[in-house]
Structure 1
Amino acid sequence: MIIDLEVPTGKAGIVPEAPEKWEPPDYTMKQIYDAIPSHCFQPNTLLSLGYVLRDFAFVLVLGLAATQIPSLPFPYLRQVAWFTYAFVQGLVFTGLWELAHECGHGALSKSKTFNYNTGLIIHSFLLVPFHSWRFTHAQHHKSTNNLDRDIAFVPRMKEDFDNERATHSKAWEMVEDTPIVALTTLFFHQLIAWPIYMAINNFAIERMAAAPWWKRSHFYLGGDGPNFKPENTKDVLVSDIGIVLAATGLWAAVNWFGAWNVMLFYGFPYLWTNHWILTITFLQHTDVSIPYYPTKTWSFLRGAASTVDRDFGFIGRHLFHGAIETHVLHHHSSRIPFYYAAEASDAVKGVMGKHYQSDMKTPYLWAFWKNYTQCKFVVETEKSSNIYFFSKNE
């Protein structure tokens, strides 16, 4: 089936940026698994533990180095040093977050005990309810780019976008797309969107939006909400206890060292981590080159192919553990540990051929800004095709 993507330009200057022809993938998951070297499916627990300990050692070394910042002689130098510390520590925190993500998929060890305990410790340290996140993240993997069921950066349909925009005031319409307004909105989004998503799931798709916010929360123990089943209650409770213990530790640190010191050493790096997690997830699943499907035309393989690999240089490969560069592979087989992901990704590219999507040339943060400002809604590119692509507002 070949989809012709010639869409007429409307009054608002909406033009598609998708490929001129789109052929849904026709390879099979068996071909994918057959192509990946067998050792890539065999995690090394000691090696995985070594990476976890390495990243915690980075956290400790950076924290100890930061204790010397107050002794720097010039105020501006101290400010630069604190900013640098927060930025670099935020990168290390994000790498730890990605290791916990691997644990959530059972990828760091054959031992469920190792994966779950390690993931719980790391994510609790970063104020993420590990098991609760694990359950909702599994839903994302089971429904990637499904417009009806996915829960990660699900794009709006054109009609929904138009209906929402119709409620805006004329004054807001005049300024909402200006760079300064977009940048300000983006700043606050990156600052608070992740913890709000954890607390109330404010990005809920329609089936979840029908439930009150407390039942959508990643901390909800009832078992009758849209995210968790009654048999998940024990794991959700364990996650909540992990967060309570971490919050108690932070409160004790505030009382012992002072709120501002805790903010300098932990709070600002934590905010950087929130930014990177949102940025990474957004760019993995938002691009004019990838299709989105309603349930009637979606399949697991189509969803897995509708992801994007990008390049973030040394930071992406070594601090973020390749999560950005090998995400297409990750959606085809999420149990492959990150230290085998590059090798497995090369094998998968050979099977996917032209269906493999990547952008290794656009600078990472520029790609983020471009997609954030341009990817507003998706349109059906051929009538009755039930395949959607982002349109660009010129």
Structure 2
Amino acid sequence: MANLVLSECGIRPLPRIYTTPRSNFISNNNKPIFKFRPLTSYKTSSPLACSRDGFGGRNWSLNVSVPLTTTTPIVDESPLEEEEEEKQRFGPGAPPPFNLADIRAAIPKHCWVKSPWKSMSYVLRDVAIVFALAAGAAYLNNWIVWPLYWLAQGTMFWALFVLGHDCGHGSFSNDPRLNNVVGHLLHSSILVPYHGWRISHRTHHQNHGHVENDESWHPMSEKIYQSLDKPTRFFRFTLPLVMLAYPFYLWARSPGKKGSHYHPESDLFLPKEKTDVLTSTACWTAMAALLICLNFVVGPVQMLKLYGIPYWINVMWLDFVTYLHHHGHEDKLPWYRGKEWSYLRGGLTTLDRDYGVINNIHHDIGTHVIHHLFPQIPHYHLVEATEAVKPVLGKYYREPDKSGPLPLHLLGILAKSIKEDHYVSDEGEVVYYKADPNMYGEIKVGAD
């Protein structure tokens, strides 16, 4: 009778108890710890209700395996087990339990404020550094100094691009004329057609995460991938060659797409944007002509050292950062088609990255998720806005790996992604990157 309890329904059996020692826990009397497993016949939430069998009677089966003289049972689950179960339940391609308005509401109001004076102060700072670096390198003219100059100046060229990028988004100021003037000066100085790029980049943001409609570093379908010739595959999936792709993208876009950022008749642009594209192409041409003239003034070797090599370092920064904002997470992230795609779901597949001391130099462009969802936010508010929305995003925000002074940890991530992320399936509305096992000959790379 010790194994029966008295309820308002009469005498009923105790629930079965199983011995399951809990890890990293020892009781004071060295007796095992047990967990309750309720009878499957208990269908009600009331602790006082009786279980019944299929014929409407009470279930009097006695399922007791140990006496009640053991230590008090523990019924809670291990936090590690709960975390693992929750991780398994979370699917990065599932629709999120929040909407864009929820995220917007979490952002402090002052984060939306654009200060033209503050924006211009960053321009003046970066331009001053660019000219100071060039003057110092030319004055010293030392082969110990030149490699350091190339890395520093190439990084500063990239910083100029980011400020021009803010102009293109309208996050530089509320004055479109100021945005366009500053954007043309900054982008033309590093041979980027401002309006041509601005319009295609707008397409990228409006279609981020969409297999066919995205514009920048979007995946190729398997059919397009298989149609590529070997030189194109080699260039696109071989380091460091792939990091030199940006100028070629400006001229001819990505595989499977046609048009040019310099040509107003390209299907990138609307008829009403023709004048803008022609203006940017004219500015780009003027800068190219200036560089050619400077070759005759200071000599081609000196121009190569002062401008040519830093320009290509800037290109590598641009490709490196842009690629890693959309690729290389430890868990593959989805790309969408058809009804499964939405602006919110596409934006949530972007990634933040930590670049160490470079974060401030290139204006926190690594804080990329909130920028993709709300490109109107100025770069100097991105970090604060991101911290504010993290509780809303939950697991849909993927915390970036912390960097040392320099983001060397990202080199391995880049190399791994280039080897594994080749194409996506021609069918399906939620797809993930797959690898071509024959890409590198006998070298086997991971599957999808």
Could you say which TM-score interval applies, normalised by the shorter chain? 0.7 to 0.9
Q: Structure 1, residues 172-211: CA drift from partner, whole Å, max 9, x if none?
A: 9xxx9xxxx89993223323x211111122x144xx44xx
Q: Contact 1:305–1:356 (CA<8 Å) still a contact in 2? A: yes
Partner in structure 1 of residue 246 of structure 2: 194
* Residue of 66, 76, 79 corresponding to 2:137: 66
1:346 partnered with 2:399 = no
How many positions carry a matched residue from both structures? 341
Structure showing greater radius of gyration is 2
Query: Does residue 121 of structure 1 match 2:185?
Result: yes
Q: Are residues 1:218 and 2:241 paired? A: no
Structure-2 separation of matches of 1:351 and 1:289: 22
The C-alpha deviation readout for 1:277-303, integer Å capped at 9, x for no partner, is 011111001134321001331000001
Structure 1 stretches lacking a partner, 5+ long: 1-17, 71-77, 210-215
Which protein is richer in helix relative to its size?
1
Conserved in 2, the CA contact under 8 Å of 1:306 and 1:357?
Answer: no
Which residue of 2 is the match for residue 305 of structure 1? Answer: 348
Q: Is the 8 A contact 2:166 2:378 kept in 1?
A: yes
Distance in 2 of aligned mates of 1:116 and 1:79: 38
Residue 197 of structure 1 aligns to which amino acid in structure 2?
A: Y
Q: 1:34 aligns with which of 105, 113, 122?
A: 105
Matched, 1:367 2:406: no
Distance change >3 Å, CA 19–CA 371, structure 1 → 2: farther
Are the aligned partners of 1:289 and 1:357 in contact in 2 as well (CA < 8 Å)?
no
Whichever residue aligns with residue 196 of structure 1, its letter is F
The match for 1:233 among 271, 274, 279 is 274
Separation in structure 1 between the aligned mates of residue 422 and residue 144 of structure 2, nearest angstrom = 36
CA distance in 2, matches of 1:228, 1:186: 32
Identity of aligned residues (%): 31
CA contact (8 A) 2:336 2:430 kept: yes
How far residue 367 of structure 1 moved from its aligned partner, in angstroms, is 1.5
Quote the Cα distance in structure 2 between the aligned partners of 1:313 and 1:229.
40
1:318 equivalent among 360, 372, 375: 360
Distance 1:218 1:279, change over 3 A: same
Distance 1:291 1:139 in 2: 19
Letter aligned with residue 241 of structure 1? A
TM-score, length of structure 1 as denominator length: 0.81
Deviation of 1:121 (Å): 0.5
Matched, 1:55 2:97: no
| Aligned residue in 2 for 1:279 | 320
The 1:228/1:184 distance shift into structure 2, 3 A limit, reads closer
Matched residue, 1:13: none
Runs of 5+ unmatched residues, structure 2 = 1-86, 404-408, 436-444
Conserved 8 A contact 1:66-1:85: yes
Seen in structure 2, the aligned counterparts of structure 1 residues 144 and 253 have a Cα distance that, compared at 3 Å, is same
Aligned pairs for 1:1-394 (under 5 A) are 21-22=90-91, 23-70=94-141, 78-158=142-222, 160-161=224-225, 163-164=226-227, 185-191=238-244, 193-201=245-253, 203-205=254-256, 208-209=257-258, 216-222=259-265, 225-287=266-328, 288-315=331-358, 317-324=359-366, 326-361=367-402, 363-379=409-425, 386-391=429-434, 393-394=445-446
Residue 108 of structure 2 aligns with an amino acid whose one-letter code is P
Q: Which runs of 4+ in 1 moved over 3 A?
A: 18-21, 157-161, 181-185
Q: Deviations over 1:38-62 (max 9, x none)?
A: 1111111101000000000110110
Does structure 2 conserve the Cα–Cα contact (< 8 Å) formed by 1:292 and 1:388? yes
In 2: Cα distance, 1:34 partner to 1:184 partner: 41
Considering only aligned residues, what root-mean-square deviation do their CA atoms show, in Å?
2.4
Whole-Å separation in 2 of the counterparts to 1:229 and 1:271: 31
Opposite residue 356 of structure 2, the aligned amino acid is: G
Matched to 2:344, the amino acid is L
